[in-house]
Structure 1
């Protein structure tokens, strides 16, 4: 995520879920969906720079919870998400994906202490970078990275968990050729992976699609199903 253009088309922030779905998980205020019962798998969704209040992200959390997962969407920005009025160049240094990774590890530990049988993590743009780093620790069972910001090849080389990478055909921040190369690196390291490029969509489409854009909506729904299938494969054994 190297410039403001990466954060074009911000989501409309409105109601998304109920206040009683906000809990503290791993020290962070989090939107939660579903029930965390012993031996049930859990998912962590790491938002893009616009933060955990985005309605479509919370709707996705609810959709995944209906499939039997306990879903947590933490506020990794502690009430300071990016907004178009802010300068990304000054916002980003105070919200590094590496810090997000360390916070995510605390959430993983908290979920395990509460009895989660297996944990997966999905990240969008900024969150994709955090999930990529999280995957190097081997503390989760599976990862999904969606239209990420700039990924580190070192992190990809160090990835220890099965990883799906879902990208947009029209994305200069995560070009399809680069994402396919990451898949080749994972395969060379004997890490199961799935790389898919969705045609005709742009960066951020999975949680920033417009309901009246038939193609983007269809691709977003397809990406959600691909994510669900990946997590079901590795977390519900």
Structure 2
């Protein structure tokens, strides 16, 4: 995790520096961005309030012994549909907001498979956040918040160390192989699997979009690689993908991407540095890959994940990002 092109540490600050500084985010609902690199933000590990009156319509099941949320179009299997693999941020497969996000794609005609990338170990501190303007907090509250942030920073770093490509990719490979057998009709209808990745999941949408041989960089060293020998060659191909405000992404993650890719990003996002994004998009285009990007200013990292915000600009950007990603998938 010592790559110059990737942020590797969660936000840290001394308790006495917990008061707002010039590095504090001015975006309503965003977490403070302290000086120094960051690995995951508040929006990667904490759900926004769920939109009122909305409840998930899919179901939890297991594929290859991996907990998986499945949600289908209302007319499936009577009408053909495409299969979409949705990869979440740290809040994981049991997050109501993530399930509702999957339902939104299902309502647009996709059979959505959302697997548990973390083997039941979602990011620590997963809870519903509330907007508490820092100017309304007492100094003591701000100091307490600073101490808590340092503790959470350490915990997140430990959690990330448990969820590397060597650990996560084998889970996803097993799910894809099982899904290919269960929903062969949907994969055939789309000519492959479509994928979207948010925050943590964005990196894996890129890695899974890399053809066999190149993607094995992680799989060959996986703990259960012997059991899964040949699994990459047997997997359905990724037809097209879209990622939103990725974390832990390196320039090298774009090297072998072979599926058309849409990139949603946040302006001045330390979790998805501009130089990584620009280099990655340039590399995909140089490789003859169809790709587009859209950068949203004045919104927090994680804005594209379903959840309520008080700021109308964030609300509109969230809707627009979904429409952009959805349109890209449908066009391919």
Name the TM-score, length of structure 1 as normaliser: 0.88
SS at match of 1:131: helix
How far apart are 1:150 and its partner, in Å?
A: 2.6
After superposition, what is the alpha-carbon deviation per residue over 1:88-138, rounded to whole angstroms, capped at 9, x for unaligned?
121111111343233222222222212122311111111111111111127
How far apart are 1:54 and its partner, in Å?
A: 2.3
Partner of 1:123: 197
Q: Is the Cα contact below 8 Å between 1:65 and 1:71 reproduced in 2?
A: yes
Partner of 1:8: 42
Instruction: Considering Cα pairs closer than 8 Å and 6+ residues apart, tell me whether 1 or 2 has the greater RCO.
Output: 2
After superposition, what is the alpha-carbon deviation per residue over 1:12-35, rounded to whole angstroms, capped at 9, x for unaligned?
5889525x7111124311111115
Q: 1:166-185 residue pairs with structure 2 within 5 A? A: 166-185=264-283
- How many angstroms apart in 1 are the aligned matches of 2:241 and 2:315? 23
How far apart are 1:208 and its partner, in Å?
A: 5.9
Q: Is the Cα contact below 8 Å between 1:42 and 1:111 reproduced in 2?
A: no
How far apart are 1:48 and its partner, in Å?
A: 0.8
CA-atom RMSD, angstroms?
A: 2.3
Q: Is the Cα contact below 8 Å between 1:13 and 1:53 reproduced in 2?
A: no
Select the residue among 74, 82, 85 that pairs with 1:41: 82
How far apart are 1:68 and its partner, in Å?
A: 0.8
Q: 1:101-116 residue pairs with structure 2 within 5 A? A: 101-114=169-182, 115=184, 116=186
Partner of 1:17: 56
Say if 1:63 and 1:95 are closer, same or farther in 2 by CA, change over 3 A.
same
How far apart are 1:176 and its partner, in Å?
A: 3.4
Select the residue among 156, 164, 170 that pairs with 2:254: 156
Say if 1:186 and 1:194 are closer, same or farther in 2 by CA, change over 3 A.
same
Select the residue among 65, 81, 95 that pairs with 1:54: 95
Partner of 2:206: 132
Select the residue among 186, 192, 211 that pairs with 2:290: 192
Q: Is the Cα contact below 8 Å between 1:7 and 1:49 reproduced in 2?
A: no
- How many angstroms apart in 1 are the aligned matches of 2:10 and 2:253? 24
After superposition, what is the alpha-carbon deviation per residue over 1:171-230, rounded to whole angstroms, capped at 9, x for unaligned?
111133431321111000001111110121121111165332211111111111111111
**Is residue 2:123 matched to residue 1:82?**
yes
Say if 1:168 and 1:98 are closer, same or farther in 2 by CA, change over 3 A.
farther
How far apart are 1:63 and its partner, in Å?
A: 0.9
Q: Flag structure 1 segments of 5+ consecutive residues without an equivalent.
A: none
Q: Is the Cα contact below 8 Å between 2:70 and 2:113 reproduced in 1?
A: yes
Greater shift in the superposed pair: 198-207 or 185-194: 198-207
Which 4+ runs in 1 deviate beyond 4 A? 12-16
Partner of 2:159: 91
Say if 1:26 and 1:215 are closer, same or farther in 2 by CA, change over 3 A.
farther
